[in-house]
């Protein structure tokens, strides 16, 4: 892989910007990119408290798919997947986007029913989806154990062939490079410590690198959204949890697709470099520690070996955790807030990576026009009051 | 694997417990009298601090007691809730 | 390169043949694969991952970046950490492992759980001293070390302590530790992770497989030592370039000369030590190169730097360039400085600082209960390390005198930043100085970015030898101090761990507990096909003579509709609810009213989550004025009990109500069908008079039982309950009386014909009772119940929500797939809902379906789309069969029993009966199921006897005289006794609590494997109280443990 010779500047913050994006992860960078590309807004700063894209963007298992159950979610994630399909070209950077297929296994009769239901909904929503029986699963992914002697035998699975993986760092760097080239300031090591709000409207952010005036402020801080929102006087329906992942050592190609199983809590793919990349369910408690409990990993390995006996001798090289902001209905929160000029894009929980371009796209629109993008409308905060939740626990609960 | 001090059973591994989130969120005395906003806040909105957090745990695989501790959400240090 | 005639810790009297890349070679006990390869003259141990460059053995420990090999089914192991054994076959790699499905993995891995006051990681001088200091103070100590023997760095050194070889001191320390009964020493055990609250996970390599230890320690002492590092000069990767300490270890510990003529690059004083030891072993020291001036004078010492290497014809080191000088050598021993092994310390959230003198990141201080000692915090000399280890004790210990030289600061030097394409910072990932420079040139400032951009330190060694080098080079490139650049985050595991090791015993049938009912053996004997429902195995259908499922279900349905059929319903959750406020409590939980239910009556109830969505359903019966029995769905039994207890304890503690699970106590047989009464007349004549939705405590075939007249099929039906031990006999008797056994599939058809929804099938967490058409069950009189307020929210109260409807296909022989989406007739959208249930119905002679759909009315024509199939359907009422409930009372003429069967009192079968012989075979007399004893759960008042399980919860066993209010749970659990000296060793492989005899003297509720249990000290052993449904799981688990 050859990277470009230059990626981004390391500027000091200016005193004021039209738009300040808080959070230099995938969503923040994508938002900056689409603000510039689609809305001509380039007087933008992206403030990152650590290193660029060093949060969940650097920690996720890079699975991309759009096979969500409800119309609202399918529309948003499918829009994102379509953007992915042109993103390497658009950004002029090899994102190693590989549409190798995402298999979602069913282990109980209930899984089968829900899997079929989702496949049918997806197809009617223009999302590619297929139902495979156990034999077809084995044909598509020969190393999956579909024998009846597994503790929870594989009864079938859904397949989204257009789903796959991409190289997370490349995505972040490609977006950063584009934004930087448009004159957008990517400012690292700059933590937002407060908001200046007058007459119900945000005026500036206070940061560890001084006050920065802002016409509009857009939160894109994933697991830290609640902490920021609290500084602006807002309480959001979000809880931050550790989400663990791990990689094996480099292996010769053995797994050509993405395999997920909600029932036994596993998802796995093999990265281009050769390592198996795996994830588990979230740790149940609130934490900002970027680390989880080891028994979660142990349980995940036991589950993985039920599906993939061949992995028995593969070795775990490294485990880690991100901080995911989980919403009550496992769907994101995108839109305006009670503070004028302050926007929120959060609650992506375990599934933010796949939404990177789509979220940036609709968020940029929402910020630029001060009204929700139609795809984002169902994901506004007021759904928690009306009860019109977009409950994607079935599609997102454990696996992403 | 955190070690939680159950008030009845003593220190036990985290996976014997169920997490209960923020402590001290009482069921409203008269739900019917609440606005939709206030009811939504009861249902869905909880504190989510980076730092000390009063939270509930349930010793599901032990004495089945609910109890409250203070835990730091970054260091995971635990102290008895006042 | 050759084996020395004497010296080292190998046994030359035994020869171990092995193969490397097919070549037959040999070594000796005490060798690693790496030392045996070096002794055999093997210089190229593998090729690099990207560039394919030949690489040799670089280290003598788990930090090895180069010499990765495949051994059998193990795809990638560092040759430096593999103990040699006879017949070993190793294959060199090019940076990647290969998983070979044909290579069997015969290891049997397991886990272990131990507790101690002090856990010491590392059995070198500091760790031994720390373990001694703690151990002699009398506390419980665990010492783990990754090598086959204790000594750490001293195993590879010629240091003398108090005038004697350092290993004498090690031996004396070891024997003092062995004399301390509360000290346990684990060799071949690598601590891989250091977690919150003193939790350390370690892998012990045992002959049959690994054991994953989980240690909980009051204090953790990290004596993990330090790793030497290299420098990035051109050609620093040639085979023959080796870390100086490794070269020293090969001569001293393994009796192997790693070269014949050596150049030593002494940026740190460990180079001089290596030069001395190599020279003593007969290696010619061609030069010692030291960037610092004023170094020790050894043969050919030059002040300067190594500027390159020259490969010979075979690609291995032939000469070393020192400025303009070329020195012929086949070994370049590099002492680039030391990096304290702070991995575990970092995992424990310990803070590091860069020490400008030591040129290394060292702990800034202890991290709460985790204390680094010795080289792990930069105290490199043996005496310093020992002193540091001792310091943790109040007792005075004498520090031995060492003959080591005083160490000078290493060179303040990270290399020349040579853009040469062979000046590597990370050998495993083929990352060069130029690669790092490209990253900074692209704008990267963070070491995390550079790591990701270059992939440095992401290899199997996780950068143990390269990490500090990347930081050093980066700091030079950026003009920033290394301390400002910082390190990347240390993440577990310290060394790679195989998946199977982490899974332990949780494989196959033990990967998740299989819960079974009292009738399971009978179902197996009858050839039932099972369905997984939660952890339960439930019979889905009972095929006869090669029937397909469709045929079997057709026959089972026909029996239930025309004669009599029976189902094992034992898996339904059953919760005994008592107290003066039990009715009031249920009124708050259920959407409907239970406080007015007459004693002896049953009522169907729905419960919602606080946001108004259906959570569970079931029938709750009033057994007494203050006594109810709730049933739940199979999958939700535990969640519902949790739910009840949560609301009671945290919201309404003043209500007098108590909950006891009796799910496993009662075995339940549903007898359904127009001729059900003939069976009831035979097995429970006392229940014959029950009206619909009434229940009775009555004798069942001579044992005390309960009968509920409840129907989930519309037919006359009875749920007959007996205590677990009689479940199988009841079942067999009912079938003998002519009832046809049926499974969950038939149950689903029967209830769908009646339009009864199933929670989890017709509901998905987004469905209210009103959506199910069950507004009738939502009380309007009660001021509140859980979920009520949510039903008034705008979106929840609106019209146009999806509702439960019935569906008929236009072609009655066609059955729509469950999960089909509904769209307007002939359209492709919008989606109006989906098919939740769909079955061929014998009773109706056609297919039927249930669906959730919006904006539809009976008579509407829709299209159901599943896959490529579009099926025309019509919306109808969801009740297909007997809408006026005319069938449920059956025909009173059937009240005569067919015949009177014998009683079952003598046919009790304990939950573990099937294990008696296997326990004996695996464990002799050490493991047995205890003979039946009556057991009660008591809540509220202290019974003054039994085991206290919670603040107001007791378990009373034996021949006590039960008080009113005691709940008989004799069938809920069985008791397995484990005795003998090995009992504790078996239990610690699955029980996470501290079972040390001085601590665990009574009983505790906890886990064994993945099963909830009560463990009780009993005589010289233990009694394990196991939920009856988990007995098969625990039995298999124990047998696996006994065999281990």
Q: Are C612 and C796 in contact (CB under 8 A)?
A: yes
Q: How far is Cα C637 from Cα C643, in angstroms, rounded to an integer?
A: 10
Q: Are A273 and A62 in contact (CB under 8 A)?
A: no
A7 closest CB neighbour out of C74, C443, C491: C443
Burial C37-73 (b: 16+ CB within 10 A, else e): bbbbebbbbbbbbeeebbbbbbbbbbbbbbbbbbbbb
The Cβ of residue C11 has, within 10 Å, a number of other Cβ atoms equal to: 12
- Report pLDDT for A1: 59
Q: How far is Cα A24 from Cα A32, in angstroms, rounded to an integer?
A: 9
Which residue carries 């002029």 as its tokens? A92
Which residue carries 């079931």 as its tokens? C618
Q: Which of C699, C672, C667 is nearest to C900 (CA)?
A: C699
Supply φ then ψ for residue C89, to 5 degrees.
Answer: -125, 120
Structure token digits, residue A12: 């000091």
Supply φ then ψ for residue B73, to 5 degrees.
Answer: -80, 0
Q: Residue C709: pLDDT above 90?
A: yes
Q: Which of C982, C944, C980 is nearest to C963 (CA)?
A: C944
Residue C76 to residue A293, Cβ atoms within 8 A: no
Report pTM: 0.97
Q: Which of A106, A131, A90, A79 is nearest to A356 (CA)?
A: A79
Mean pLDDT rounded to a whole number for chain C: 95
Question: Cβ contacts (< 8 Å) between A109 and chain C: which residues?
Answer: 531
Instruction: Judge if ipTM > 0.85.
Output: yes
Q: Are C586 and C602 in contact (CB under 8 A)?
A: no
Q: How far is Cα C642 from Cα C937, in angstroms, rounded to an integer?
A: 17
∠C807-C809-C811 over CA atoms, to 5°? 160
Supply φ then ψ for residue C507, to 5 degrees.
Answer: -125, 155
- Report pLDDT for C147: 98
Q: Residue C1: pLDDT above 70?
A: no
Q: Which of C931, C928, C923 is nearest to C1039 (CA)?
A: C923
The one-digit pLDDT tens for each residue of chain A (400 residues) are: 578 899 999 999 999 999 999 999 999 999 999 999 999 999 999 999 999 999 999 999 999 999 999 999 999 999 999 999 999 999 999 999 999 999 999 999 999 999 999 999 999 999 999 999 999 999 999 999 999 889 999 999 999 999 999 999 999 999 999 999 999 999 999 999 999 999 999 999 999 999 999 999 999 999 999 999 999 999 999 999 999 999 999 999 999 999 999 877 889 999 999 999 999 889 999 999 999 999 999 999 999 999 999 999 999 999 999 999 999 999 999 999 999 999 999 999 988 999 999 999 999 999 999 999 999 999 999 999 999 999 998 754 433 3
Helices (H) then strands (E): counts for chain A: 10, 18
Helix, strand, coil percentages (3-state) for chain B, rounded to 5, are 20, 35, 45
Q: Looking at residues C750-771, what average pLDDT do you find?
A: 96
- Report pLDDT for C893: 66
Q: Residue C4: pLDDT above 90?
A: yes
> What Rg value do the Cα atoms of chain B yield, rounded?
15
Q: How far is Cα C495 from Cα C146, in angstroms, rounded to an integer?
A: 10
- Report pLDDT for C1044: 76
C349 closest CB neighbour out of B8, B39, B75: B75
Q: What is the pLDDT of residues C327-367, one digit of tens each?
A: 999 999 999 999 999 999 999 999 999 999 999 999 999 99
A286 closest CB neighbour out of B14, B37, B73: B73
- Report pLDDT for C762: 96
Burial C1012-1032 (b: 16+ CB within 10 A, else e): bbbbbbbeebbbbbbbbbbbb
Could you give the dihedral angle defined by the CA atoms of residues C736, C740, C741 and C746, in that order, rounded to the nearest 10 degrees?
Answer: -170
**Chain CA centroid to CA A196, Å:** 29
Q: What is the pLDDT of residues C349-359, one digit of tens each?
A: 999 999 999 99
Q: What is the pLDDT of residues C1004-1032, one digit of tens each?
A: 999 999 999 999 999 989 999 999 999 99
Q: Looking at residues C519-529, what average pLDDT do you find?
A: 98
Q: How far is Cα C504 from Cα C527, in angstroms, rounded to an integer?
A: 31
Q: Residue C404: pLDDT above 60?
A: yes
Beta strands in chain A (DSSP E): 16-22, 44-47, 63-64, 102-106, 130-133, 156-160, 164-165, 185-187, 192-198, 201-207, 210-219, 239-250, 258-261, 266-270, 275-282, 315-326, 333-336, 342-346
C314–chain B nearest CA distance, Å: 51
Q: How far is Cα C323 from Cα C985, in angstroms, rounded to an integer?
A: 62
Q: How far is Cα A114 from Cα C416, in angstroms, rounded to an integer?
A: 62
Residue C449 to residue A52, Cβ atoms within 8 A: yes
Q: How far is Cα C1038 from Cα A201, in angstroms, rounded to an integer?
A: 65
Cβ burial, residue C101 (10 Å; 0-12/13-18/19+)? exposed
Chains that touch C (3 or more CB pairs under 8 A): A, B
Q: Taking every pair of C-alpha atoms in chain C, what is the biggest distance, in angstroms?
A: 114
Q: How far is Cα A392 from Cα A121, in angstroms, rounded to an integer?
A: 13
Q: Is the backbone peptide bond immediately before B51 cis, with ω within 30 degrees of 0?
A: no
Q: How confident is the model at residue C394 (pLDDT cuts 50, 70, 90)?
A: low
Residue of B63, B68, B76, B79 to mutate, interface with C, max C Cβ within 10 Å: B63
Q: How confident is the model at residue C395 (pLDDT cuts 50, 70, 90)?
A: low
**Chain A, window 238-267: residues with a beta carbon less than 8 angstroms from a chain B beta carbon:** 238-240
Q: What is the pLDDT of residues A231-247, one digit of tens each?
A: 999 999 999 999 999 99
- Report pLDDT for C685: 95
Which residue carries 């040390």 as its tokens? C996
Could you give the dihedral angle defined by the CA atoms of residues C680, C682, C684 and C687, in that order, rounded to the nearest 10 degrees?
Answer: 50
Q: Which of C346, C310, C337, C243 is nearest to C34 (CA)?
A: C243
Residues 6+ apart with CB under 8 A from C506: A298, A299, A302, C512, C1009, C1010
Count of A-B CB contacts under 8 Å: 64
Q: Are B65 and C951 in contact (CB under 8 A)?
A: yes
Q: Looking at residues C790-818, what average pLDDT do you find?
A: 97
Residue of C430, C499, C507, C854 to mutate, interface with A, max A Cβ within 10 Å: C499
Q: Among all residues of chain C, which has the CA nearest to that of A168?
A: C452
Q: Residue C31: pLDDT above 60?
A: yes
Q: How far is Cα C648 from Cα C577, in angstroms, rounded to an integer?
A: 12
B64 closest CB neighbour out of C197, C645, C784: C645
Q: Are strands A130-133 and C627-632 parallel, antiparallel or unpaired?
A: unpaired
Q: Residue C776: pLDDT above 90?
A: yes
Q: Residue C669: pLDDT above 60?
A: yes
């Amino acid at each position: 892989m050859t990277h470009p010779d230059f990626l981004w500047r390391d500027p000091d913050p200016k005193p004021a910007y039209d738009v300040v994006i808080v959070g230099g992860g995938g969503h923040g960078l994508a938002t900056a990119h689409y603000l510039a590309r689609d809305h001509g807004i380039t007087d933008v700063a992206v403030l990152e408290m650590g290193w660029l894209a060093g949060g969940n963007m650097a920690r996720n298992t890079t699975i991309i798919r759009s096979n969500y159950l409800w119309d609202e979610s399918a529309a948003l994630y499918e829009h994102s997947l379509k953007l992915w399909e042109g993103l390497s070209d658009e950004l002029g950077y090899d994102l190693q986007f590989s549409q190798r297929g995402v298999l979602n296994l069913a282990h109980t009769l209930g899984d089968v029913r829900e899997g079929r239901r989702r496949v049918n909904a997806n197809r009617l929503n223009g999302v590619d989806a297929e139902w495979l029986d156990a034999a077809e699963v084995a044909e598509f992914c020969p190393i999956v154990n579909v024998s009846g002697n597994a503790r929870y035998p594989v009864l079938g699975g859904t397949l989204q062939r257009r789903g796959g993986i991409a190289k997370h760092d490349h995505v972040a760097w490609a977006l950063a490079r584009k934004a930087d080239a448009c004159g957008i300031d990517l400012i690292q090591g700059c933590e937002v410590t407060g908001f200046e709000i007058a007459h119900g409207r945000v005026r500036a952010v206070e940061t560890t690198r001084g006050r920065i005036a802002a016409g509009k402020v857009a939160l894109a801080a994933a697991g830290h959204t609640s902490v920021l929102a609290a500084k602006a006087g807002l309480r959001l329906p979000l809880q931050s949890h550790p989400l663990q992942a791990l990689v094996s050592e480099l292996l010769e190609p053995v797994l050509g697709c993405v395999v997920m199983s909600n029932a036994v809590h596993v998802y796995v793919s093999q990265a281009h470099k050769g390592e198996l990349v795996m994830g588990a369910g979230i740790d149940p408690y609130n934490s900002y520690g970027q680390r989880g409990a080891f028994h979660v990993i142990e349980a995940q390995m036991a589950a993985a070996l039920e599906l993939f006996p061949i992995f028995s001798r593969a070795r775990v090289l490294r485990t880690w955790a991100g901080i995911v902001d989980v919403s009550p209905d496992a769907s994101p929160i995108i839109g305006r807030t009670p503070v004028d000029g302050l926007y929120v894009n959060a609650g992506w929980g375990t599934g933010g990576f796949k939404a990177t371009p789509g979220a940036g796209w609709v968020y940029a629109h929402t910020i630029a026009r001060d009204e929700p993008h139609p795809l984002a409308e169902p994901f506004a905060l007021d759904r928690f009051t009306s009860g019109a939740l977009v409950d994607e626990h079935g599609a997102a609960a454990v696996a992403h | 694997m955190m070690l939680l001090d159950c008030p009845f059973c003593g220190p036990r591994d985290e996976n014997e417990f169920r997490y209960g989130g923020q402590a001290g969120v009482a069921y409203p005395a008269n739900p019917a009298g609440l606005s939709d906003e206030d009811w939504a806040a009861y249902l869905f909105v909880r504190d989510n601090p980076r730092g000390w957090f009063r939270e509930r745990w349930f010793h599901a695989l032990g004495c089945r007691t609910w109890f409250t501790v203070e835990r730091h959400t970054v260091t995971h240090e635990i102290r008895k809730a006042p | 390169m050759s084996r020395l005639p004497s010296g080292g810790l190998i046994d030359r009297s035994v020869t171990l043949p092995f193969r490397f890349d097919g070549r037959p070679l040999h070594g000796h006990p005490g060798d690693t694969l790496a030392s045996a390869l070096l002794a055999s003259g093997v210089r190229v141990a593998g090729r690099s991952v990207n560039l394919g460059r030949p690489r040799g053995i670089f280290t003598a420990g788990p930090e090895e970046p180069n010499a990765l090999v495949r051994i059998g089914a193990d795809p990638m192991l560092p040759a430096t950490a593999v103990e040699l054994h006879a017949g070993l076959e190793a294959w060199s790699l090019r940076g990647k492992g290969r998983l070979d499905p044909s290579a069997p993995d015969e290891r049997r891995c397991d886990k272990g759980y131990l507790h101690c006051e002090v856990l010491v990681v590392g059995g070198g001088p500091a760790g031994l001293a720390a373990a001694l200091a703690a151990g002699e103070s009398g506390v419980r100590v665990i010492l783990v070390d990754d090598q086959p023997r204790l000594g750490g760095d001293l195993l590879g050194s010629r240091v003398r302590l108090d005038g004697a070889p350092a290993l004498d001191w090690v031996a004396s320390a070891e024997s003092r530790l062995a004399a301390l009964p509360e000290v346990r020493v684990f060799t071949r055990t690598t601590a891989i992770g250091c977690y919150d609250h003193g939790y350390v996970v370690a892998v012990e390599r045992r002959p049959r497989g690994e054991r994953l230890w989980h240690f909980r320690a009051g204090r953790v002492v990290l004596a993990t030592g330090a790793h030497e590092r290299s420098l990035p000069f051109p050609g620093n990767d040639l085979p023959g370039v080796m870390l100086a300490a490794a070269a020293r270890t090969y001569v001293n510990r393994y009796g192997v000369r790693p070269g014949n003529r050596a150049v030593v690059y002494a940026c740190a004083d460990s180079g001089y030590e290596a030069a001395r030891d190599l020279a003593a072993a007969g290696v010619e020291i061609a030069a010692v190169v030291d960037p610092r001036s004023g170094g020790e004078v050894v043969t050919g010492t030059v002040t300067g730097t190594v500027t390159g290497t020259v490969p010979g014809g075979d690609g291995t080191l032939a000469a070393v360039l020192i400025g303009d000088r070329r020195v012929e050598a086949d070994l370049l021993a590099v002492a680039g400085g030391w990096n304290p092994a702070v991995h575990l310390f970092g995992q424990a959230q310990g803070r590091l600082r860069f020490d400008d003198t030591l040129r290394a990141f060292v702990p800034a201080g202890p991290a709460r209960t985790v204390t680094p000692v010795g080289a792990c915090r930069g105290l490199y000399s043996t005496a310093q390390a020992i002193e540091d280890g001792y310091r943790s004790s109040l007792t005075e210990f004498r520090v031995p005198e060492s003959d080591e030289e005083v160490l000078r600061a290493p060179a303040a030097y990270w290399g020349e930043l040579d853009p040469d394409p062979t000046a590597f910072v990370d050998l495993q990932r083929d990352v060069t100085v130029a690669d790092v420079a490209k990253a900074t040139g692209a704008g990267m400032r963070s070491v995390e970015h550079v790591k990701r951009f270059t992939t440095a330190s992401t290899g199997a060694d996780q950068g143990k030898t390269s990490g500090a080098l990347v930081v050093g080079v980066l700091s030079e490139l950026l003009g920033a101090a290394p301390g400002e650049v910082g390190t990347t985050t240390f993440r577990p595991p310290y060394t790679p761990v195989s998946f199977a090791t982490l899974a332990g015993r949780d494989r196959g049938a033990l990967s998740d507990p299989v819960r079974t009912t009292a009738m399971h053996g009978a179902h197996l004997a009858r050839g039932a096909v099972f369905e997984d429902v939660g952890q339960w195995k439930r019979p889905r259908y009972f095929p006869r003579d090669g029937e397909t499922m469709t045929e079997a279900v057709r026959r089972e349905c026909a029996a239930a509709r025309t004669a009599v059929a029976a189902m094992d319903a034992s898996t339904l959750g059953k919760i005994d609810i008592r107290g003066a406020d039990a009715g009031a409590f249920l009124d708050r939980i259920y959407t409907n009213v239970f406080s007015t239910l007459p004693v002896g009556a049953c009522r169907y109830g729905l419960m919602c989550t606080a946001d108004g969505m259906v959570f569970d359903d079931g029938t709750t019966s009033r057994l007494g004025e203050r006594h109810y029995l709730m049933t739940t769905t199979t999958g939700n039994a535990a969640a519902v009990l949790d739910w009840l207890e949560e609301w009671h304890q945290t919201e309404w503690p003043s209500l007098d109500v108590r909950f006891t699970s009796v799910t496993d106590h009662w075995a339940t047989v549903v007898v359904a069908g127009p001729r059900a009464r003939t069976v009831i007349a035979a097995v429970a004549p006392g229940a014959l008079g029950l009206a619909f939705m009434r229940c009775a405590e009555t004798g069942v075939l001579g044992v005390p039982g309960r009968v509920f007249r409840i129907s989930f099929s519309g037919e006359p039906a009875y749920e007959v309950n007996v205590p677990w031990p009689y479940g199988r006999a009841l079942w067999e008797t009912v079938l003998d009386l002519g009832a046809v056994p049926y499974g969950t599939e038939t149950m689903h058809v029967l209830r769908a014909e009646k339009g009864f929804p199933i929670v989890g099938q017709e509901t998905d967490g987004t469905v209210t009772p009103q959506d199910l058409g069950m507004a009738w069950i939502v009380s309007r009189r009660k001021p509140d119940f859980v979920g009520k307020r949510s039903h008034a929210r705008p979106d929840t109260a609106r019209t146009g929500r999806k509702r439960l409807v019935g569906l008929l296909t236009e072609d009655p022989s066609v059955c729509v797939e469950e999960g089909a989406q509904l769209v307007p007739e002939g359209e492709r959208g919008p989606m109006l809902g989906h098919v939740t249930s769909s079955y061929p119905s014998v009773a109706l002679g056609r297919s039927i379906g249930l669906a959730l759909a919006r904006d539809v009315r009976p008579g509407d024509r829709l299209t159901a789309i599943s896959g490529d199939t579009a099926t025309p359907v019509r919306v109808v009422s969801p009740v297909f069969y007997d809408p006026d409930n005319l069938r449920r009372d059956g025909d009173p003429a059937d009240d005569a029993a067919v015949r009177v069967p014998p009683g079952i009192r003598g046919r009790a079968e304990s939950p573990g009966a099937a294990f008696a012989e296997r326990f004996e075979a695996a464990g002799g007399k050490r493991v047995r199921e205890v003979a039946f004893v009556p057991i009660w759960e008591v809540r509220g008042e202290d019974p003054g006897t039994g085991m206290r399980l919670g603040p107001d919860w007791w378990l009373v066993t034996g021949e006590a005289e039960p008080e009113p209010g005691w709940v008989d749970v004799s069938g809920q659990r069985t008791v397995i006794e484990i005795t003998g000296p090995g009992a504790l060793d078996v239990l610690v492989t699955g029980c996470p609590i501290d079972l040390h005899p001085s601590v665990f003297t009574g009983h505790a509720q906890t886990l064994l494997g993945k099963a909830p249990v009560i463990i009780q000290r009993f005589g010289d052993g233990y009694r394990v109280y196991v939920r009856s449904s988990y007995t098969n799981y625990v039995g298999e688990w124990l047998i696996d443990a006994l065999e281990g």
